[in-house]
Amino acid sequence: MKKDFLKRVMATGLVAAMALSTAACGDSADEAADAPAADTTTDAPAATEAAASTEEASDAAATDDGSYEECTLTISWWGGDSRHEATLAAIEAFEAAYPGIHVEPTYAAWDGWEEKMATAFAAGTAQDVNQINWNWITQYDSDGTAFVNLNDYASVIDMSQIDSAYLDMCTASDGSQAALPVSMTGRIFYWDKTTFDEIGCEIPTTLEELKACGEAFAAYGDDYYPLALGEYDRMILMVYYLESVYGTDWVTDGQLNYTVDQVAEGLQFIQDLEDAHVIPSIATIAGDGAASLDQNQNWIDGHYAGIFEWDSSASKFSAAAEGREIIVGDYLTDLGDYQGGYAKVSMCWAIASSCQHPKEAALLVNFLMNNEEAATILGSERGVPVSQIALKTANDAGLLNGQVVEANGKVLAWVQNSLDPKFEDSQLKSSDGVYYDVMAGLSYGDYTVEEAAQTLVDGVTSVISQ
Amino acid sequence: MAKKSNTASVAVPKKKKSFKDICKENIGFFFILPWLIGFLVFKLYPMGASLFYSFTDYNLFKGMNVIGTLENYIDVFTTKKITTALGVTFKYAFITVPLKLVFALFIAYILNFKIKGVNFFRTAYYIPSILGGSVAIAVLWKAVFRDDGLLNGLLGIFGIEGPSWLSDPNYALFVICLLRVWQFGSAMIIFLAALKGVPTDLYEAASIDGAGKWRQFFSVTVPIITPVIFYNLVTQLCQAFQEFNGPYIITQGGPRNSTTLISLLIYNSAFKQYDMGMASAMAWVMFVILMVFTIIAFLSQKYWVFYSDEEG
């Protein structure tokens, strides 16, 4: 049922993307651009009372006259320098379009960001508008009170620009629209073609070819590997493998769908890759002394010639490997009878329930999501936008990163499984969580495959059942 | 009853105190008021709150239920991850504190001589203490200790194949310990001040009696500065048990929890697992352990610390 649903979503996304890439200027898109909610032609900052309660907000939404209140809003996001610069420029454009609204930004790199924001949401001190991870909706908003219900501001936010299936992925437990999805993402292979050419290996499209590459790389140099995976990467690849073999989602409705034996099979698959010199051990990567793979010297100079990464991260990895040809790979076709793997909402915009000016915050969210000027400024800084008007604008202006678009297209065309947000629960995926423990423990030899499988099943079950 | 009435009738009416008088009488209190408010709000209240939370299952996003038993404390001593972290913390403290004290005293002793450019050296040795656990230091430390880093490169010149400092659980703690020992500047400055206070006539007398430099150091210098050694010992012990920055920025507790000190585990428990109840219990266990060590240190004073105002 869920699979069909996801397929429908993917199909819709693909059709939209294809339509945009072939049509010069579709009428519907033009109409969408003129949609009232995306309208930024507010005459003057007429000071009106912002709707404070949900009921008031609903009334305001029903009778919105384009007015807004002069106020100061706060906004937060994480990311790299290029995202910071683009978002700051978009905020400047928003302030110009809405005189009287001042926006104070807070931004930083990802490291430590989740801890900071978790504390802020728990204490009710989060910024008004927040870039959030998809799983934060279930994690921080278990009772539907952490975020403003954006449906209450439907006259301010043009939700028609976003596929309803994507919107449904961002609803809280009480059915409220807790956030708006910015883009969809999934994991896919990227290969350093320069290194593959140097060693004389074809870019792998099957597991067999990948293992053959492992042999060739080992023969070329002990410190050369066709693929590099950290602990969490291994976990995602294992799930992709199991879903390819069995076709079942990893977790559904708080239930792990794989037995200990099946999980052991998945872990053995990972361990076989390490034994076949396809991936370096966890100790080898730790010994590199890099904070992340894109900062790892062995990736930068091509000793690690492949990664399994989010499609939205492509530019970061390509930029790091300057002077080398990084190409988007294909999914391995011989893993099983199914097209395993999943796509998920990469990130969202949400308004904290503590926000004193939710209508004005909604204007900002709408601007960042659907405004044409913002779309040209932001491009694909947060992945390929799901907002049709933003996608069309950025695409027409040639602002989308070709590699990101290619990778995103391949992901959405391939994956058939859906992901439970709990998969990304920080209790599981943090460096202190069970994913790291199991994957590192197996690689270091602290666990047998059976022990690791049991530990993983126990750890996952305890978190998803909460 | 009548007596009371009489007394009242003859009593001199009390002069009403002016606001100025009240201020004058309580001036001491007003001076310490800022600190007192800070102590109550930022120390006593959080400590009291954490003690309460340690008896609950408080989760940042799932609410709180009072357990009312010692369950969290029992878990602290029976959960392998936590007992391992406690063990690593003890090892870390017992390696770094003596090393740091010896190193700081040694350098302070050298810098106490009248040598050329001594002020420059004092500043240079103090700089690592200022840098602390910054990101820049993390980058530097990783560059030095990674597999193909500076240290292994140097060892390679002598034909020695260096270990994998950052990824081998047997060596990673050493990297973290070294970071702490490297930051000996503040202890060194305190030792230096103490060394300046040692009367020179004692050295002259010792010299006349035939004592060499080493004998003078162990028989004159060390006994005189034992109060300062004691002070540094207690403060360094407290700091070592609370160390967080080193493992957080360099190894994130890895590999395989070999550098997960208890403070890092408390942080992970509170802000990654959102389990404030367990984190509070761990913090209180750590507090009690530190308290015990501090008491032991104070009790041991009478055996090895010499104060100048003591008789004999």
Please give, rounded to a whole number of angstroms, the shortest distance from the CA of A61 to a CA of chain B. Answer: 30
Mean residue pLDDT across chain B: 90
User: Is A110 in the B-facing interface, judged by CB distances under 8 Å?
Assistant: no
**How do the domains of chain A map onto residue ranges?**
16-185+346-413, 186-343+417-464
Using alpha carbons, list the distances in angstroms from residue A23 to A400, A401, A416.
16, 19, 27
Local confidence band at B13 (pLDDT 50, 70, 90 cut-offs): low
Domains A16-185+346-413 and A186-343+417-464 share a fold: yes
Please give, rounded to a whole number of angstroms, the shortest distance from the CA of B164 to a CA of chain A. Answer: 6
Nearest to B167 among A121, A287, A432 (CB): A287
Distance CA A270, CA A428 (A): 18
- The C-alpha angle A109, A383, A147, rounded to 5 degrees, equals 70
Q: Which of chain A's residues have a Cβ under 8 Å away from the Cβ of B254?
A: 286, 431, 440
Nearest to B61 among A142, A287, A289 (CB): A142
Local confidence band at B50 (pLDDT 50, 70, 90 cut-offs): very high
Q: CB neighbours of A214 closer than 8 A, spacing ≥ 6? A: A225, A226, A273, A276, A277, A278
Nearest to A286 among B60, B62, B254 (CB): B254
- Concatenating the DSSP letter of every residue in B17-76 gives PPHHHHHHHTHHHHHHHHHHHHHIIIIIHHHHHHHHHTTB--BTTTB--B--SSHHHHHH
Query: Are the beta carbons of A287 and B273 separated by less than 8 Å?
Result: no
User: Is A222 in the B-facing interface, judged by CB distances under 8 Å?
Assistant: no
Mutation to test the B interface, candidates A432, A443, A466, most B Cβ within 10 Å = A432
Give residue-wise pLDDT tens across range B68-103.
Answer: 889 999 999 999 999 999 999 999 999 999 999 999
The pLDDT score that the predictor gives to residue A34 is 34
Distance CA A465, CA B209 (A): 78
Residues written for chain A: 466
Please name the residue of chain B whose CA is at the shortest distance from the CA of residue A443: B256
Nearest to B61 among A115, A139, A283 (CB): A139
Distance CA A396, CA A461 (A): 46
Tokens of A402: 């070709």
User: Is A466 in the B-facing interface, judged by CB distances under 8 Å?
Assistant: yes
Local confidence band at B22 (pLDDT 50, 70, 90 cut-offs): confident
Residue A199 contacts residue A215 (beta carbons within 8 Å): no
Query: Are the beta carbons of B272 and A430 separated by less than 8 Å?
Result: yes
Residue A276 contacts residue A210 (beta carbons within 8 Å): no
Distance CA B195, CA A44 (A): 73
Local confidence band at B12 (pLDDT 50, 70, 90 cut-offs): low
Using alpha carbons, list the distances in angstroms from residue A25 to A20, A159, A367, A393, B296.
8, 21, 21, 10, 80
Q: Which of chain A's residues have a Cβ under 8 Å away from the Cβ of B274?
A: 118, 122, 426-427
Please name the residue of chain A whose CA is at the shortest distance from the CA of residue B63: A122
Burial tier of B21 (Cβ tally within 10 Å: 0-12, 13-18, 19+)? exposed
The pLDDT score that the predictor gives to residue B11 is 62
- Report DSSP state, residue B221: I
Query: Are the beta carbons of B272 and A441 separated by less than 8 Å?
Result: no
A350, A352, A349: which is closest to A126 by C-alpha? Answer: A352
Return the CATH number of the domain spanning residue range A186-343+417-464: 3.40.190.10
The pLDDT score that the predictor gives to residue B308 is 73
The pLDDT score that the predictor gives to residue B265 is 96
For domain A16-185+346-413, give the CATH superfamily.
Periplasmic binding protein-like II (3.40.190.10)
Please name the residue of chain B whose CA is at the shortest distance from the CA of residue A115: B271
Query: Are the beta carbons of B167 and A284 separated by less than 8 Å?
Result: yes
Identity of the residue numbered A24: A
Please name the residue of chain B whose CA is at the shortest distance from the CA of residue A466: B62
For chain B, how big is the Rg over CA atoms in Å? 27
Please give, rounded to a whole number of angstroms, the shortest distance from the CA of B42 to a CA of chain A. Answer: 16
A301, A327, A234: which is closest to A274 by C-alpha? Answer: A234
The pLDDT score that the predictor gives to residue A21 is 39
A98, A111, A115: which is closest to A40 by C-alpha? Answer: A98
Please name the residue of chain B whose CA is at the shortest distance from the CA of residue A444: B256
Please give, rounded to a whole number of angstroms, the shortest distance from the CA of B35 to a CA of chain A. Answer: 25
The pLDDT score that the predictor gives to residue B281 is 97
Nearest to A287 among B60, B147, B268 (CB): B147
The pLDDT score that the predictor gives to residue A6 is 47
Q: CB neighbours of B148 closer than 8 A, spacing ≥ 6? A: none
Chain B: which residues have CB within 8 Å of chain A? 60-62, 138, 142-143, 145-147, 149, 164-169, 252-256, 265, 268-269, 271-274
Q: Is A385 helix (H, G, I), strand (E, B) or coil?
A: strand
* A contact residues 125-154, partner B, Cβ 8 Å cutoff: 139-140, 142
Identity of the residue numbered A411: V
Q: Which of the given ranges, B7-11, B132-136, B284-288, has the highest pLDDT on average?
A: B284-288
- Please report, in tens digits, the pLDDT of each residue of chain A (466 residues total): 444 544 444 444 444 443 333 333 333 333 333 333 333 333 333 333 333 333 444 444 444 667 889 999 999 999 888 899 999 999 999 999 999 999 999 999 888 899 999 999 999 999 999 999 999 998 887 777 889 999 999 999 999 999 999 999 999 988 899 999 999 999 999 999 999 999 999 999 999 999 999 999 999 999 999 999 999 999 999 999 999 999 999 998 889 999 999 999 999 999 999 999 999 999 999 999 998 898 899 999 999 999 999 988 777 888 899 999 999 999 999 999 999 999 999 999 999 999 999 999 999 999 999 999 999 999 988 989 999 999 999 999 998 888 889 999 999 999 999 888 889 888 899 888 999 999 999 999 999 999 999 999 999 999 988 7
The pLDDT score that the predictor gives to residue B311 is 53
Please give, rounded to a whole number of angstroms, the shortest distance from the CA of A431 to a CA of chain B. Answer: 8
Half-sphere exposure of A186 (CA within 13 A, CB side): 27
| ipTM value greater than 0.85 | no
Q: Give start and end residues of each alpha helix (H) in A248-387.
A: 260-275, 282-287, 297-300, 314-320, 358-370, 372-378
From A146-160, B113-127, B210-224, the region with the lowest mean pLDDT: B113-127
Q: Is the pLDDT of residue B113 over 50?
A: yes
